[in-house]
Amino acid sequence: MESQITWVENKKANSPANKANAVTDTTRWRVEAIEALFALPFNDLIFRAQQVHRENFDANTVQLSTLLSIKTGGCPEDCGYCPQSAKYNTGVEAEKLMPIDEVLKAAQAAKDKGATRFCMGAAWRSPKDHQVEAVGEMVAAVKAMGLETCVTLGMLKESQAKQLQEAGLDYYNHNLDTSPDFYGDIISTRTYQDRLDTLDHVRDAGIKVCCGGIVGLGETVTQRAGLIAQLANMAEPPESVPINNLVKVEGTPLADNAEIDPLDFVRTIAVARITMPGSFVRLSAGRESMNESTQALCFLAGANSIFYGEKLLVTDNPELERDTRLFEKLGLKRLEN
Ligand code: SAM
Ligand code: DTB
Ligand code: SF4
């Protein structure tokens, strides 16, 4: 199958899409073209992804980010996958914002263990201004330790994005999670457009965008392709694209979802790599229950970033020794800042 790119007018032709991986005014991925990638024979898909990967990155280097939940639980949103929503009984207790000294201790530990990016997550629908100010102080202090910074705090106003940029924030994580037509089945307390608006504020403030989604929510392959199309067709695609495999948590509405075939997860990574050649594609949540072979296939398919550290936000991630062993077996190196 030949190039899946179609040539149609892009309405955002005048946006500041000037980075190497920006979608030009004539390039756009149609959902059908992305579905055709998903339908390729596995070997052909992986070969293409690996070619694109090698044209853009060192194929044996992986970026390591460590996550910390700085404000856990009690979230008013109803995201059907999330253990931190106050609507579901998952055993996660609501906590207050973590004091800055504890955050810095965790950041130092992450740095000592080899992480180069530190991501702080808060279970908020949208932060208040004083909360953004407090997180801004954390960002400045973590950055001063020589780590890249990322935060995920929910929906942001334009002024709040600016405030975080001034604090020195490198990345803002805000996922689209799934395709526009499936979104309402998973979340009812905010719209897809709300998410897109926050992403615009982040981009306009000059912060790098970390935006991806979740596989295994019950979406069809067309809807998986719909998510990828949304991401790849942004005027400037996200610099970082986390692909999460649903972590099924008891008490959430999606706890009994069927397990997806690991090879379909690998395919999603490959399609993200092909459609967003210059972005870091992150093999994100779900590694705890993934064997080494599946993870190796994800790296082969073009994943070049992982969450590193024994916890994600509230659920488990592989032990450091397990990751160190896997990196040794595969001859992978960590990306230095
Ligand atoms: N409250 C903020 C928000 O929703 O943007 C920030 C934190 S929220 C936990 C960040 C992202 O984690 C979600 O957008 C979702 O993609 C991912 N996530 C949450 N629960 C998950 C789960 N059980 N499995 C996989 N990914 C999950
Ligand atoms: C992202 O895409 N995945 C991370 C991060 N961004 C914030 C979160 C994964 C959460 C997994 C379930 C949990 O531990 O809460
Ligand atoms: Fe809240 Fe974020 Fe969880 Fe949704 S994903 S319930 S917004 S913490």
| DSSP output for 118-138 | EEEEE--SS--HHHHHHHHHH
pLDDT at 26: 54
User: Rounded to whole angstroms, what are the CA distances from 107 to 69, 143, 163, 207?
Assistant: 12, 10, 21, 20
**Any atom of ligand 2 within 6 Å of the Cβ of 318:** no
**Token pair belonging to 3:** 């190039």
Torsion of CA 200, 209, 110, 62, to 10 degrees: 170
> What is the three-class DSSP state of 142?
helix
39-64 per-position pLDDT tens digit: 999 999 999 999 999 999 999 999 99
Range list of β-strands (E), the chain: 5-7, 27-29, 61-71, 117-122, 148-152, 171-173, 208-210, 213-215, 240-245, 280-283, 305-307, 333-334
pLDDT band for position 244 (cuts 50, 70, 90): very high
- Separation between Cα atoms, residue 324 and residue 237, nearest integer Å: 31
Confirm or deny that 211 is annotated as ligand binding: no
Indicate the average pLDDT of the chain: 92
- The answer on pLDDT for 173 being more than 90 is yes
* Mean pLDDT to the nearest integer, 332-336: 92
> What is the three-class DSSP state of 102?
helix
**Token pair belonging to 57:** 């990155």
**Any atom of ligand 2 within 6 Å of the Cβ of 314:** yes
CB-based contact 65:251 (threshold 8 Å): no
> How far does the centroid of ligand 1 lie from the alpha carbon of residue 244, in Å?
9
187-198 per-position pLDDT tens digit: 999 999 999 999
**Token pair belonging to 99:** 């004091």
* Catalytic status, residue 28: no
* Mean pLDDT to the nearest integer, 113-125: 95
Atom 8 of ligand 1, nearest CA residue? 123
Which residues are near ligand 1 (CB < 6 Å)? Answer: 81-82, 84, 121, 123-124, 152, 154, 174-175, 177, 214, 244, 246-247, 249, 285, 313
Confirm or deny that 82 is annotated as ligand binding: yes
3-state DSSP of 28-86? EECHHHHHHHHCCCHHHHHHHHHHHHHHHCCCCEEEEEEEEEEECCCECCCCCCCCCEC
Among the listed residues 28, 48, 117, 150, the single catalytic one is: 150
Output the furthest CA–CA distance in the chain (Å, rounded).
54
* Mean pLDDT to the nearest integer, 95-121: 95
Question: Which residues touch 148 (CB under 8 Å, ≥6 apart)?
Answer: 116, 117, 118, 170, 171, 337
28-41 per-position pLDDT tens digit: 999 999 999 999 99
Ligand nearest to the CA of 283: 2
CB-based contact 330:294 (threshold 8 Å): no
pLDDT at 337: 74
**Token pair belonging to 188:** 């009812």
- The answer on pLDDT for 8 being more than 50 is no
**Any atom of ligand 3 within 6 Å of the Cβ of 70:** no
Ligand nearest to the CA of 214: 1
What angle, rounded to 10 degrees, do the helices at 292-300 and 42-56 form? 60
pLDDT at 336: 87
User: Rounded to whole angstroms, what are the CA distances from 209 to 26, 212, 238, 262, 292?
Assistant: 22, 10, 5, 27, 29
Q: Which residues pair with 207 in a beta bridge?
A: none
Range list of β-strands (E), 125-211: 148-152, 171-173, 208-210
Confirm or deny that 119 is annotated as ligand binding: yes
57: amino acid identity, one letter: F
- The answer on pLDDT for 16 being more than 50 is no
Tell me what percent of the chain is helix, strand and coil, each rounded to the nearest 5. 40, 15, 45
| Closest residue by Cα to residue 34 from 334, 303, 267 | 267
